[in-house]
A and B are shown apart, each in its own frame.
Chain A
Amino acid sequence: GAGVSQSPSNKVTEKGKDVELRCDPISGHTALYWYRQSLGQGLEFLIYFQGNSAPDKSGLPSDRFSAERTGGSVSTLTIQRTQQEDSAVYLCASSRSGRGTDTQYFGPGTRLTVL
Protein backbone atom coordinates (compact mmCIF):
# COMPACT_ATOMS: atom_id res chain seq x y z
CA GLY A 1 0.00 0.00 0.00
CA ALA A 2 0.90 3.67 -0.23
CA GLY A 3 3.18 5.10 2.42
CA VAL A 4 3.28 8.57 3.91
CA SER A 5 3.70 11.26 1.30
CA GLN A 6 4.77 14.86 1.72
CA SER A 7 4.71 17.82 -0.59
CA PRO A 8 6.52 19.71 -1.82
CA SER A 9 9.75 17.75 -1.58
CA ASN A 10 11.73 20.97 -1.71
CA LYS A 11 10.69 24.54 -0.98
CA VAL A 12 12.83 27.64 -1.34
CA THR A 13 11.31 30.83 -0.04
CA GLU A 14 12.31 34.33 0.90
CA LYS A 15 12.53 35.52 4.46
CA GLY A 16 9.17 36.89 5.61
CA LYS A 17 7.01 34.80 3.29
CA ASP A 18 4.49 32.20 4.50
CA VAL A 19 4.81 28.52 3.54
CA GLU A 20 2.49 25.53 3.73
CA LEU A 21 3.76 21.98 3.97
CA ARG A 22 1.46 19.04 3.32
CA CYS A 23 1.38 15.50 4.71
CA ASP A 24 -0.75 12.61 3.49
CA PRO A 25 -0.62 9.86 6.11
CA ILE A 26 -1.27 6.16 5.62
CA SER A 27 -4.99 5.56 5.26
CA GLY A 28 -6.61 4.56 8.54
CA HIS A 29 -3.80 5.85 10.76
CA THR A 30 -5.27 7.99 13.50
CA ALA A 31 -1.99 9.44 14.81
CA LEU A 32 0.07 11.97 12.88
CA TYR A 33 3.31 13.63 13.92
CA TRP A 34 5.38 16.55 12.61
CA TYR A 35 9.11 16.76 13.29
CA ARG A 36 11.87 19.12 12.23
CA GLN A 37 15.39 17.95 11.45
CA SER A 38 18.21 20.41 11.03
CA LEU A 39 21.25 19.45 9.00
CA GLY A 40 22.98 16.47 10.57
CA GLN A 41 20.78 16.58 13.66
CA GLY A 42 18.17 14.33 15.25
CA LEU A 43 14.42 14.83 15.25
CA GLU A 44 12.79 17.80 16.98
CA PHE A 45 9.14 17.08 17.84
CA LEU A 46 6.71 19.77 16.72
CA ILE A 47 3.12 18.55 17.08
CA TYR A 48 1.03 15.40 17.42
CA PHE A 49 -2.51 14.81 16.12
CA GLN A 50 -4.93 12.15 17.28
CA GLY A 51 -7.67 12.30 14.67
CA ASN A 52 -8.24 15.98 14.00
CA SER A 53 -7.28 17.06 17.52
CA ALA A 54 -3.81 18.14 18.59
CA PRO A 55 -3.37 17.03 22.22
CA ASP A 56 0.31 17.92 22.15
CA LYS A 57 1.48 21.16 20.54
CA SER A 58 4.37 21.55 22.95
CA GLY A 59 7.05 21.40 20.29
CA LEU A 60 5.91 24.30 18.12
CA PRO A 61 8.83 26.78 18.29
CA SER A 62 6.79 29.98 18.11
CA ASP A 63 3.37 31.36 17.27
CA ARG A 64 4.50 31.62 13.64
CA PHE A 65 4.03 27.86 13.44
CA SER A 66 0.59 26.27 13.20
CA ALA A 67 -0.83 23.00 11.97
CA GLU A 68 -4.19 21.49 11.24
CA ARG A 69 -5.57 18.14 10.24
CA THR A 70 -8.83 17.66 8.45
CA GLY A 71 -11.00 14.57 8.00
CA GLY A 72 -8.61 12.60 10.16
CA SER A 73 -6.29 12.47 7.19
CA VAL A 74 -4.31 15.22 5.47
CA SER A 75 -2.34 17.65 7.60
CA THR A 76 -0.78 20.99 6.76
CA LEU A 77 1.99 22.71 8.67
CA THR A 78 2.05 26.46 8.13
CA ILE A 79 4.97 28.71 8.90
CA GLN A 80 4.23 32.42 8.78
CA ARG A 81 6.83 35.13 8.21
CA THR A 82 9.59 32.57 7.68
CA GLN A 83 13.02 33.19 9.15
CA GLN A 84 16.37 31.76 8.10
CA GLU A 85 16.48 29.60 11.23
CA ASP A 86 13.35 27.82 9.97
CA SER A 87 15.48 26.17 7.27
CA ALA A 88 15.39 22.43 7.90
CA VAL A 89 13.82 19.18 6.73
CA TYR A 90 10.26 18.83 7.98
CA LEU A 91 9.25 15.21 8.48
CA CYS A 92 5.76 13.84 8.91
CA ALA A 93 4.95 10.42 10.36
CA SER A 94 1.79 8.48 10.99
CA SER A 95 0.97 5.50 13.17
CA ARG A 96 -2.01 3.24 13.58
CA SER A 97 -3.22 4.47 16.96
CA GLY A 98 -0.54 6.67 18.56
CA ARG A 99 0.51 4.12 21.15
CA GLY A 100 4.14 4.17 22.14
CA THR A 101 4.70 0.68 20.72
CA ASP A 102 3.22 1.55 17.33
CA THR A 103 5.52 1.87 14.35
CA GLN A 104 5.83 5.42 13.09
CA TYR A 105 5.93 5.48 9.30
CA PHE A 106 7.79 8.50 8.03
CA GLY A 107 7.46 10.41 4.81
CA PRO A 108 10.51 11.50 2.83
CA GLY A 109 10.33 15.03 4.24
CA THR A 110 10.10 18.54 2.84
CA ARG A 111 13.40 20.39 2.65
CA LEU A 112 12.70 24.05 3.42
CA THR A 113 15.29 26.69 2.59
CA VAL A 114 14.67 30.27 3.68
CA LEU A 115 16.89 32.78 1.89
Chain B
Amino acid sequence: TQLLEQSPQFLSIQEGENLTVYCNSSSVFSSLQWYRQEPGEGPVLLVTVVTGGEVKKLKRLTFQFGDARKDSSLHITAAQPGDTGLYLCAGARGDDKIIFGKGTRLHILP
Protein backbone atom coordinates (compact mmCIF):
# COMPACT_ATOMS: atom_id res chain seq x y z
CA THR B 1 0.00 0.00 0.00
CA GLN B 2 1.41 3.33 -1.07
CA LEU B 3 0.50 5.69 1.76
CA LEU B 4 2.16 8.78 0.32
CA GLU B 5 1.42 9.65 -3.30
CA GLN B 6 3.66 12.21 -4.97
CA SER B 7 2.69 14.01 -8.14
CA PRO B 8 3.73 14.55 -10.77
CA GLN B 9 6.23 11.70 -11.04
CA PHE B 10 8.30 13.67 -13.56
CA LEU B 11 8.43 17.36 -14.37
CA SER B 12 10.60 19.13 -16.89
CA ILE B 13 10.31 22.90 -17.16
CA GLN B 14 12.28 25.89 -18.38
CA GLU B 15 14.49 27.95 -16.11
CA GLY B 16 12.57 30.85 -14.61
CA GLU B 17 9.19 29.12 -14.50
CA ASN B 18 7.24 28.39 -11.33
CA LEU B 19 6.13 24.92 -10.29
CA THR B 20 4.30 23.04 -7.58
CA VAL B 21 4.66 19.40 -6.61
CA TYR B 22 2.37 17.53 -4.30
CA CYS B 23 2.45 14.88 -1.61
CA ASN B 24 -0.94 13.37 -0.73
CA SER B 25 -2.26 10.73 1.62
CA SER B 26 -5.47 9.48 3.14
CA SER B 27 -3.62 9.10 6.43
CA VAL B 28 -2.85 11.76 9.02
CA PHE B 29 0.80 12.41 9.77
CA SER B 30 2.24 13.99 12.89
CA SER B 31 4.95 15.62 10.80
CA LEU B 32 6.12 15.70 7.23
CA GLN B 33 9.52 16.27 5.70
CA TRP B 34 10.78 17.13 2.23
CA TYR B 35 14.16 15.86 1.01
CA ARG B 36 16.07 16.52 -2.22
CA GLN B 37 18.33 13.93 -3.75
CA GLU B 38 20.91 14.63 -6.44
CA PRO B 39 22.39 11.89 -8.65
CA GLY B 40 24.91 9.68 -6.86
CA GLU B 41 24.13 11.12 -3.44
CA GLY B 42 21.82 10.43 -0.54
CA PRO B 43 18.75 12.61 0.12
CA VAL B 44 19.24 15.84 2.06
CA LEU B 45 16.58 17.34 4.30
CA LEU B 46 15.00 20.59 3.09
CA VAL B 47 12.29 21.18 5.69
CA THR B 48 10.15 19.65 8.43
CA VAL B 49 6.55 20.78 8.97
CA VAL B 50 4.58 19.75 12.04
CA THR B 51 1.49 21.98 12.34
CA GLY B 52 -1.58 21.75 10.12
CA GLY B 53 -1.70 24.76 7.81
CA GLU B 54 1.96 25.56 8.43
CA VAL B 55 3.86 27.36 5.69
CA LYS B 56 7.66 27.49 5.59
CA LYS B 57 9.83 29.36 3.14
CA LEU B 58 13.37 28.50 2.17
CA LYS B 59 14.56 31.14 -0.31
CA ARG B 60 12.58 30.36 -3.50
CA LEU B 61 10.97 27.24 -2.04
CA THR B 62 7.64 27.39 -0.18
CA PHE B 63 6.38 24.38 1.72
CA GLN B 64 2.84 23.97 3.01
CA PHE B 65 1.37 21.33 5.30
CA GLY B 66 -2.36 20.77 4.78
CA ASP B 67 -4.81 21.78 7.51
CA ALA B 68 -5.73 18.15 8.11
CA ARG B 69 -2.06 17.06 8.06
CA LYS B 70 -2.74 14.61 5.23
CA ASP B 71 -1.00 16.43 2.41
CA SER B 72 1.76 18.86 1.57
CA SER B 73 2.96 20.91 -1.34
CA LEU B 74 6.27 22.34 -2.47
CA HIS B 75 6.24 25.46 -4.64
CA ILE B 76 9.37 26.67 -6.39
CA THR B 77 9.49 30.21 -7.75
CA ALA B 78 11.71 31.07 -10.70
CA ALA B 79 13.22 27.58 -10.98
CA GLN B 80 16.95 27.30 -11.63
CA PRO B 81 19.02 24.42 -13.02
CA GLY B 82 20.40 23.85 -9.52
CA ASP B 83 16.89 22.85 -8.41
CA THR B 84 17.12 19.72 -10.55
CA GLY B 85 16.80 16.53 -8.53
CA LEU B 86 14.48 14.00 -6.95
CA TYR B 87 12.13 15.54 -4.37
CA LEU B 88 10.93 13.11 -1.73
CA CYS B 89 8.33 13.64 0.93
CA ALA B 90 8.40 11.60 4.13
CA GLY B 91 5.59 11.42 6.64
CA ALA B 92 5.84 10.34 10.26
CA ARG B 93 2.94 8.73 12.07
CA GLY B 94 2.27 8.95 15.78
CA ASP B 95 4.49 5.92 16.38
CA ASP B 96 7.34 7.74 14.61
CA LYS B 97 7.26 5.23 11.75
CA ILE B 98 8.48 7.16 8.73
CA ILE B 99 7.12 6.56 5.25
CA PHE B 100 8.66 7.93 2.07
CA GLY B 101 6.82 8.72 -1.14
CA LYS B 102 8.26 7.63 -4.49
CA GLY B 103 9.34 11.14 -5.35
CA THR B 104 9.00 13.74 -8.07
CA ARG B 105 11.89 13.88 -10.49
CA LEU B 106 12.40 17.52 -11.46
CA HIS B 107 14.49 18.68 -14.38
CA ILE B 108 15.07 22.38 -14.99
CA LEU B 109 16.16 23.21 -18.51
CA PRO B 110 18.63 26.11 -18.86
A4's nearest neighbour on chain B, judged by CB, is: B42
Flag whether B50 is at the interface (Cβ < 8 A).
Answer: yes
Residue from the set A100, A101, A109 with the largest chain B CB neighbour count within 10 Å: A100
**A91-106 Cβ-contact flags toward B at 8 Å (1 or 0):** 1010000111101101
Assess whether B98 is in contact with A100, with CB atoms less than 8 Å apart.
Answer: yes
CB distance from A70 to the nearest CB of B (A): 22
Majority SS at the chain B contact face: strand
Flag whether B99 is at the interface (Cβ < 8 A).
Answer: yes
Q: How many A-B residue pairs have CB under 8 A?
A: 61
Which of A42, A99, A103 lies in contact with B45, CB distance below 8 A?
A103
How large, as a class, is the contact surface on chain A? 20 to 34
Residues of chain B contacted by A104 (CB below 8 angstroms): 33, 35, 43, 45, 90, 98
Q: A101-B31, A103-B48 are in contact. Are A41 and B96 (CB under 8 A)?
A: no
Residue from the set B97, B99, B101 with the largest chain A CB neighbour count within 10 Å: B97
A residues apposed to B, CB below 8 Å:
4, 33, 35, 40-43, 45, 56, 91, 93, 98-101, 103-104, 106-109
